[in-house]
């Protein structure tokens, strides 16, 4: 496992442990993973000749805040933003999704909301990088937080991302033919070490990982899916694509 893959697994583990020590509604877990990714982006910026022109804005990093970016329809608080300090404008927006439970119930909403927020921002010419982290085995809890079953990530769950990644790019006079397609998408299914037995409820589930070591590894690949423009389980490609955009600007990529 390369250094950056090890780092993203560490961020996911630490964010999950923070989630267990707070609550499912707490934003503290996001500060852990957003801050780690922001730190890695800042390291990239320091390799650029015009480093001083840029600033990374994120929870868990620097001033510990989110940047509010004006989209085509609405203003959006963005997870991680690379700002041009000379113009005070966003250069890249990075949106991070860390999905922890009841995935299948919300999978279509997650997907459509991602496309909507992408379109809102990219229609103004700001490239959106979407980072999506999904556990390959997620607990399903009832509204009363009682454990019902384990949900396993399947090829069918991932097929919509594969289709999105294989849509045509380009467009004369416009930054994107389809502004709802992220400039870059990183999709990372990951595995959290299993409990020895099923939990009774959400509280017992979180308590187990508070008191026992959590381990995160990258999950299996879906061999029958073609990913097109989507990077699969490759955190290095995200860092490379961010560096490439900051160096060369927008390029069509198919």
**Which tops the pLDDT comparison, 198 or 48?**
198
Spatial separation of the C-alpha atoms in residues 92 and 82, rounded to whole Å:
5
Name the least confident of 69-78, 111-120, 213-222.
213-222
Three-state SS annotation for the chain: CCHHHHHHHHHHHHHHHHHHHCCCCCCHHHHHHHHHHHHHHHHHHCCCCCHHHEEEEECCECCCCCEEEECCCCEEEECEEEEECCCCEEEEEEEEEEECCCHHHHHHHHHHHHHHHHHHHHCCCCCEEEEEEEECEEEEECCCCEEEEEEECCHHHHHHHHHHHCCCCCCCCCCCCCCCCCCEEEEEEEEECCCCCCCCEHHHHHHHHHHCCCCEEECCCCCCCCCCCEEECCHHHHHHHHHHHHHHCCCCCC
Range of the domain at 138: 3-248
Residue 70 lies in a domain: yes
216-218 and 184-192 as β-strands: parallel, antiparallel, unpaired? antiparallel
Q: What confidence tens digit (pLDDT) does each residue in 45-88 have?
A: 999 888 899 999 999 999 999 999 999 999 999 999 999 999 99
Report whether pLDDT(223) > 70.
yes
The number of folded domains in the chain is 1
CA dist 89 → 4, 70, 93, 113, 145 (Å): 28, 10, 11, 24, 42
- In the chain, % of residues over pLDDT 90: 59
Residue 95 lies in a domain: yes
Residue 254 lies in a domain: no
Spatial separation of the C-alpha atoms in residues 168 and 70, rounded to whole Å:
27
Please, what is the Cα angle at 33 between 29 and 36, to 5 degrees? 140
pLDDT at residue 2, rounded to an integer = 56
Residue 173 lies in a domain: yes
The answer to whether the beta carbons of residues 103 and 157 sit under 8 Å apart is yes
Instruction: Give me Rg for the CA atoms of the chain.
Output: 18
Residue 253 lies in a domain: no
213 band by pLDDT with thresholds 50, 70 and 90: very high
Spatial separation of the C-alpha atoms in residues 141 and 147, rounded to whole Å:
5
Residue 33 lies in a domain: yes
| Residue among 186, 189, 129, 132 at smallest CA distance from 155 | 189
pLDDT at residue 106, rounded to an integer = 83
253 band by pLDDT with thresholds 50, 70 and 90: very low
Report whether pLDDT(176) > 50.
no
Residue 158 lies in a domain: yes
Burial class (CB in 10 A: 0-12, 13-18, 19+), 74: exposed
Report whether pLDDT(252) > 70.
no
How large is the angle between the packed helices 28-45 and 235-248, nearest 10 degrees?
50
Spatial separation of the C-alpha atoms in residues 243 and 254, rounded to whole Å:
18
Spatial separation of the C-alpha atoms in residues 114 and 187, rounded to whole Å:
13
């Amino acid at each position: 496992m390369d250094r950056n893959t090890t780092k993203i697994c560490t961020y996911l583990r630490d964010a999950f442990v923070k989630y267990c020590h707070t609550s499912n509604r707490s934003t503290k877990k996001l500060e852990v993973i957003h801050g780690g990714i922001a730190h890695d982006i800042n390291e990239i910026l320091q390799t650029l000749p015009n480093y001083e022109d840029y600033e990374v804005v994120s929870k868990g990093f620097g001033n510990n805040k989110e940047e509010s970016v004006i989209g085509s329809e609405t203003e959006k608080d963005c997870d991680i933003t690379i700002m041009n300090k000379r113009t005070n404008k966003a250069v890249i927006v990075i949106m991070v999704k860390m999905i922890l439970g009841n995935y299948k119930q919300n999978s279509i909403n997650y997907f459509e909301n991602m496309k909507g927020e992408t379109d809102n921002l990219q229609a103004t010419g700001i490239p959106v990088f979407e980072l999506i982290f999904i556990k390959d085995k997620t607990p399903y809890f009832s509204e009363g937080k009682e454990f019902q079953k384990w949900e396993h990530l399947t090829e069918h769950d991932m097929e919509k991302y594969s289709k999105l990644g294989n849509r045509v790019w380009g467009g004369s006079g416009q930054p994107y033919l389809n502004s709802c397609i992220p400039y870059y998408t990183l999709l990372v299914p990951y595995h959290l070490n299993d409990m020895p037995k099923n939990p009774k409820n959400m509280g017992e589930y979180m308590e187990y990982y508070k008191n026992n070591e959590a381990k995160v590894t990258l999950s299996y690949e879906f061999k029958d899916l073609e990913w097109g423009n989507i990077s699969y389980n490759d955190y290095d490609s995200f860092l490379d694509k961010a560096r490439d955009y900051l160096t060369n600007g927008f390029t069509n990529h198919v």
